[in-house]
Amino acid sequence: MAQGVGRTIWEFLDERFLITELLGFAKKKTVPEHGRSFWYFFGGICLFLTGLQVATGGLLLLYYTPQVDAAHESIQFIMGGVKFGWLIRSVHSWTANILIAMLFVHMFSTFFLKAYRKPRELTWVTGFLLLVLFMAFGFSGYLLPWNELSYFATRVGTDIAGSLPLIGPWLKTVILGGPEVGQATLSRFYWFHVALLPVVALAIVAIHVLLVQTLGMSKPIGERGKREIPFFPDFIYKDALGWTLILVLVGVLCVFLPWEVGTKADPLASTPIGIKPEWYFTFMFSTLKIIPAHILSLEGEKLAILGFMVGGLLWLLVPFLDRRAGRGQRSPLFTWVGLALAAYIVVMTVLTYTVPKL
């Protein structure tokens, strides 16, 4: 009897959602297995962490107040007054940082395996867009607790946007919602962080995942092995194993190092020394600091910003630039460019934290 009801419901859903077809597709899907298939897992980890972000972020909305005079207090309340609030917030903050780190690893592993080559150009393009979007998530989310560090980091960050040629001052005003970091900025960043970005990012995540599913995993150039494992359930189980380990790491971090609330932002206070943006922006931030003031009669800082924009665009278009990889040939030039870029990012980030007066 119960089985009969179950079958009826199953058939009802199957007819409408084409579950059998989807399952059929999933059953046939395989993942290549070879010496470098380890790197495939980072995509899954990023997806999992994104899910955690959505879940914990949604929960934080319950108690967070996006008001200048209440934001900091509400975070304090979450950390002290709500059962497990400390956990939800710490998980949100810690996984956000781990997610960005994993996105970088995922991006560079994809780059070095040349997985962006035809027909996966758009997977790369959407992936890079996602990195940019998640960094924007980080930038906007950083201000929301309205503490001293985030307040001044936002001021410094938007000042950089304001120094862009032509559109700079206008752009800064639009970002801040006024001439100064204030209530308008907090409202804007809040909207950006919980309304606009999630919609856009989740849509692109959907495209990215759909592309990965339909095109399958890319096999590195020159990989001759033919061994493959079913995507479902073998690969999923392995993925789940990775997620579990990440969860343990997050748990330990949250219990032993709960994310700090900091002191409430005081717009009248003088800027604390050594103010830095979040670590994933420091390689750009430090570049702006050490670049000479003038290069060939051009302003160094503007040149650097322009350089980052052009560099980002070229990086976005890598699949179309790397013709050799597109033809299935090795392209050592791109490998070297990627290595140089990775080294640059690592060195500049480390320098930011080790050389105090950079």
Partner 1 sequence: MIFRPARFLAAAALFAPLLAFGQKNGCIDCHSQLDGDLKAPVAAFEADIHREFGLSCRDCHGGNPDTDDIALAKDKSFKGAPAKAKIPLFCGGCHADPAAMRTYNPALRTDQLSQYETSRHGKLLKAGDTKVAVCTDCHGVHGILSARMPKSTTFPWNIPQTCGRCHADKGLMEGYRIPTDQLDEYMASVHAKALFEKKDLSAPVCNDCHGNHGAFPPAVSSVASVCRQCHAAAGELFGKSLHKKAFDDMGVGECDACHGNHKILPPSTAMIGTADGAVCIQCHDEGSRGFKMAADLRRTLDGFTSGYSEVEGLLSLARRKGVEVGDAEFSLQDVHTTLVSAENLTHGLDEAEIAKTVAEGEKALLGVRTAALGAVKEGRFRRQGLAVTTAILALFAVALALKVRRMGRTRRDEAGPGVPGPPSS
Partner 2 sequence: MKRRSAIDLFLGGSLIATVAAFLYPVVRYLLPPKRPIISQDTVVAAKTGELAPNSAKVFRFGTAPGILVNTPDGKLVALSAVCTHLTCTVRFEAETETLYCPCHNGRFDLGGNVLSGPPPRPLETFAVAVSGPDIVVSRRR
Taking the CA atoms of residue 267, residue 273, residue 278 and residue 279 in that order, the dihedral angle to the nearest 10 degrees is: 180
63 binds, among partner 2, partner 1, none (CB under 5 to 8 A by kind): partner 2
Of 115-123, 184-192, 225-233, 326-334, the window that binds partner 1 (rule: CB under 8 A) is 225-233
154 counts as binding partner 2 under rule CB under 8 A: no
Picking from 19, 2, 43, 21, the residue whose alpha carbon sits closest to that of residue 238 is 43
88 counts as binding partner 2 under rule CB under 8 A: yes
220 counts as binding partner 1 under rule CB under 8 A: no
333 counts as binding partner 1 under rule CB under 8 A: no
129 counts as binding partner 1 under rule CB under 8 A: no
Q: Which residues contact 161 (CB under 8 A, 6 or more apart)?
A: 168, 171, 172, 175
Residue 342 to residue 289: CA distance in whole angstroms: 19
* Residue 271 DSSP one-character state: P
65 binds, among partner 2, partner 1, none (CB under 5 to 8 A by kind): partner 2
Residue 176 to residue 241: CA distance in whole angstroms: 42
Of 95-103, 212-220, 255-263, 300-308, the window that binds partner 1 (rule: CB under 8 A) is 255-263
* 3-class DSSP state of 229: strand
233 counts as binding partner 1 under rule CB under 8 A: yes
Residue 80 has which token pair? 């002290």
140: left (phi over 0), alpha (psi -120 to 50) or beta: alpha
Footprint (CB under 8 A) of partner 2, residues 230-249: 244
The CB-of-57 to partner 1 minimum distance in angstroms stands at 20
Nearer Cβ to partner 1, position 63 or 112? Answer: 63
User: Helix count (H) and strand count (E) of the chain?
Assistant: 16, 4
Footprint (CB under 8 A) of partner 1, residues 80-99: 80, 86-87
Q: How many CB atoms lie within 10 A of CB 173?
A: 15
Residues recorded for the chain: 358
What string marks each residue from 284 to 323 as x (binds partner 1 by CB under 8 A) or -? ----------------------------------------
237 counts as binding partner 1 under rule CB under 8 A: yes
Positions in the binding site for partner 2 (CB under 8 A)? 59, 62-63, 65, 69-70, 73-74, 77, 81-85, 87-88, 244
